[in-house]
Amino acid sequence: MKGSDRKDIWLVVVNVFAASRKAGSIWKKAAVMLEETGVPFKVRFTGGHDNAAAISRKACAEGYRKFIAVGGDGTVHDVLNGIAVHVESSADSGLSFSDFILGVLPVGSGNDWVKSTGVPRNIKGAVDAIAKGCTGLQDVVRVEAQDTVSYMANVGGVGLDARVCEIVNRKKEQGYRGKKLYVSALLYCIKNRLPVRARIVCDGKEVFSGKYLSIAFGVGKYSGGGMQQTPLAEIGDGLLDITVIPDIPMWTIVKEISKLFTGSFHKIDVLTMAKCKEVLVIPESEADAEPVEVDGEVTGRAPVCMRVLPQQINVIMQDPR
């Protein structure tokens, strides 16, 4: 098959480790649904020598331009990263993120990214959305943390947020799942919080300097199984939303924590919030270099630079935007 022939064929990337290793059996049912709707596709599975990022990167080089991630937010992150690495390495050829479409069959534990697209979390609804082909534009964020580079589709963070992800990912490896997993990890990290110091610079202007507990960055609203750390974010507005939780008393945290789940988190007066195209987090000292997470994956440590790329990728949505 020629590369040009693959542009109209969906490349399905199945993360066999998603949904407590049940993604493979779920995919079998989804494959039948896709076939019944007449959606042309080829499928590849993780679990061998390649993860979802490597599979996607190779598929891009083979000419595929439509991708379906079968898994959770981590799988979406990996597929996007495979596409992004190929696009940025092929910049001289005129290739753009807009040449690609990304969809998802959500079978993960959090499934937060898909909430911002309006695509149903049930497989039948997600298949129908892919078959209809409604797309909208999604921002892609390049994240440089020390010696690492990754790309963000949804929400990332520094500090307490990243420490929560470290705990959650360890628990997932042990087979734990569900919203309570995120909440219990959050409460543990709050109880054992360790404020550190940093400067935060948005589009060249310092917006925060001092002790903080956590910094969240989002092009999407949802993370951690439904928490809304960046409740005003829009995935296609070309801007990155930032929420800084300063070093505040425990009683204030307990009083306000429910707002993480109601979409009113931004109404807390003590928070620092901003919108920008590029943000820098600069630790005051080496001891203040907190971990960085991107779409739930810990990718490195601060200092970190996050920049919204000028090109946007097409994503499957319930309704076109």
Domain ranges in the chain are 3-133, 145-309
Per CATH, 3-133 and 145-309 having the same topology is answered no
C-alpha pair distances (Å), 236 with each of 67, 115, 136, 224, 321: 19, 14, 8, 21, 9
C-alpha pair distances (Å), 76 with each of 10, 83, 159: 15, 11, 23
Residue numbers in the chain where pLDDT is lower than 50: 321
CB of 154 within 8 A of CB of 218? yes
| Fold of the domain built from segment(s) 3-133 | Rossmann fold (3.40.50)
Which pLDDT value is given to residue 146? Answer: 85
Q: How many CA atoms lie within 13 A of 267 on its CB side?
A: 9
pLDDT in tens, 16-64: 877 667 778 889 999 999 999 999 999 999 987 789 999 999 999 999 9
Which pLDDT value is given to residue 166? Answer: 77
* Domain 145-309: CATH architecture, name and number where available: Sandwich (2.60)
Which pLDDT value is given to residue 230? Answer: 95
Which pLDDT value is given to residue 162? Answer: 79
Joined together, the tokens standing for residue 309 give 């790329």
Which pLDDT value is given to residue 1? Answer: 61
Which pLDDT value is given to residue 63? Answer: 96
Joined together, the tokens standing for residue 179 give 């919203």
Which pLDDT value is given to residue 20? Answer: 65
Q: What is the H or E stretch that residue 43 is in? A: strand 41-45
Q: Hey, which residues does 198 pair with through a beta bridge?
A: 210, 283
Which pLDDT value is given to residue 173? Answer: 66
Which pLDDT value is given to residue 154? Answer: 96
> Tokens 């943390």 identify what position?
145
